[in-house]
Amino acid sequence: MPVGERNLRIFPEGTDIFYQSQGECEWFLCSIPRYLLQAALSAHPDGLTLPTNQIITIKLSNTTFEHLTGFFKEMFSFIEPLAKPMLPPDVINKLSSDLINECATAISKNDNQWLGILPNRLSQLHGQLILASETLVLSSENYNIKLSELADSTGYTLRALEMIFKNTVGMSPKGWFINMRLNGALRDLMTAQDNDNVAKTATRWGFQHLARFSSTYRSTFSERPSETLARSRKRKIP
């Protein structure tokens, strides 16, 4: 969880969890069967019911946040020296029960604002990732960057990046950045100076193979880059 936000987030079963933060962050990730968490919540006076198929964000109070994070850290410090070869079953059961009860208690202390919980911000976070990725590409030499470098810079795996881009913009990261560079080349050709040409523009936007650039450009914009340049220069003739 990003430092200072004090969020507890509940994901439905089968959700791919992507980490996104613009600053210092700390994550505690737990996998709890829905029926066990629901049973623990039902035991509380308010009898809260978990919504289905919805990602929920719960804002914790300072006291609840400090208590819950303290519990996680204490549990980890206890488990680490015992984890090999395997914890005894009775210890596992006790820790699991304590974990579920602590999470249920934190959720139930939300001042009865269950209906006011903020909706899923995952799409917004993924949009921020894409914008940040574009900035990274535009700041790189020749507007070109390897996907492995992008993954290292963002903290995401290549598979996660593929899924985020396809779900958000409908294409792969590679396809999105090629499209972004093609649009940059289009703008430059439409506002070309007298000493500009197609080869210079292609190289400026990271396209090293002129024939391949022309082919991709034509399939995207339905005209050759030389035609765009010619129209631009024709408009400048008094």
- The structure tokens listed for 123 are 């799409």
pLDDT digits (tens, 9 = 90+) for 78-102: 877 765 657 778 888 888 999 999 9
Picking from 85-94, 117-126, 152-161, 195-204, which range would have the lowest pLDDT averaged per residue? 117-126
Give me the mean pLDDT over the 64-77 stretch. 89
Residue 229 pLDDT: 92
Query: Does 221 have pLDDT greater than 50?
Result: yes
pLDDT number for residue 22: 45
Q: Where are the domains of the chain?
A: 7-116, 122-236
Please give the average per-residue pLDDT across 172-176, as a whole number. Answer: 87
Mean pLDDT: which of 2-6, 84-88, 228-232 is highest? 228-232
pLDDT on residue 70: 92
- The pTM score is 0.49
Question: What pLDDT score was predicted for residue 215?
Answer: 94
For the ranges 2-6, 164-168, 227-231, which has the lowest average pLDDT? 2-6
pLDDT tops 70 at residue 55: no
> Which superfamily does CATH assign the domain made up of 122-236 to?
Homeodomain-like (1.10.10.60)
